[in-house]
Amino acid sequence: MRFVEPQGRARRCRALAGLALSCLVTACATRNAADAIATELAQSFEAQSGVMLDRLQQSPDQALCSEPGAAASSASLAQRRAIERAARDGVRFPSGAPPSPQAWLGDWRRGERIAQSGVGLQTSDRPGTEAGGNCYGCHRLAPTEIAYGTLGPSLTGYGLRHPPDEAGLRDTWIRLFDSHAFDACSVMPRFGARGILSEEQLRDLLALLLDPQSPVNR
């Protein structure tokens, strides 16, 4: 998906600016204005490199979490809890053995590469590029890192706070597989549920977070 050619982009920018101005004037009083902006935006993208326009369709949970005032309404609170339950029910745990560090933890060195990689699922990627987790974009991981995002909490020492016993393994797996199991409106990507990362990649990330030898825990 990418913006259309420069002339088209300029024309659409002007159209969007006009719409935004009319929204300010009317305080976006009508849903029509919001729909018109959504339509203009949708027409500004085209499919590219396997990134298709269905990305522009919000899932029901995205739509709910985008509603102004949703957090305050008790109706949407019930919907949020329902989304969280459904996310939890949809988690696929690692195949085979029951939770134990030997059975579930992959290789933290590979996990570190996945956590520091932001490629995948972008229009600038060659089709078929394996996605990374882009964890560093939102979290601090190893204490030696100097560049990291702060949208999410620091994960430095995560494995010391969450020992890799059965509860630690399961809860962390659920968090990586589908962040909506904990919060329907979480901004953290739903790595397993949306097929962004494979089971093997998730095991490697689990090791990065929980293995005592991982730089996250040293």
Instruction: Please report which residue ranges of 71-128 form alpha helices under DSSP H.
Output: 74-89, 101-104, 108-115
Rg (Cα) of the chain, in Å, rounded?
20
The 3-state DSSP class for residue 158 equals: helix
Kindly state the DSSP code that residue 76 receives in the 8-state scheme: H
Using rule CB under 6 A, residue 183 touches ligand HEC: yes
Q: Around 195, how many Cα atoms within 13 Å sit in the side-chain half-sphere?
A: 1
83 binds ligand HEC (CB under 6 A): no
79 vs 148, which CB is nearer to ligand HEC?
A: 148
> How many binding residues for ligand HEC (CB under 6 A)?
25
Answer yes or no whether residue 182 interacts with ligand HEC by CB under 6 A: yes
Cα angle value 44/195/160 (rounded, 5°): 115
Q: Which is nearer to ligand HEC, 51 or 189 (CB)?
A: 189
Residues 122-151 that bind ligand HEC (CB under 6 A): 133-135, 137-139, 151
Query: CB-based burial of residue 117 (10 Å sphere; 0-12 exposed, 13-18 middle, 19+ buried)?
Result: middle
Q: How far is the CB of 152 from ligand HEC (least distance, A)?
A: 3
C-alpha closest to that of 138 among 147, 128, 126, 129: 147
We find the least distance from the C-beta atom of residue 114 to ligand HEC, in angstroms, to be 7
The residue (of 51 and 206) whose beta carbon lies closer to ligand HEC is 206
**Helix (H, G, I), strand (E, B), or coil: what is residue 46?**
strand
Q: Which of 140, 159, 191, 211 binds ligand HEC (CB under 6 A)?
A: 191
Residues 41, 52, 103, 187: which binds ligand HEC (CB under 6 A)? 187
CB of 3 to ligand HEC, least distance (A): 22
Give the type of residue at 150.
T
The residue ranges that bind ligand HEC (CB under 6 A) are 115, 133-135, 137-139, 151-153, 155, 158, 172, 175-176, 179, 182-183, 186-189, 191, 205, 209
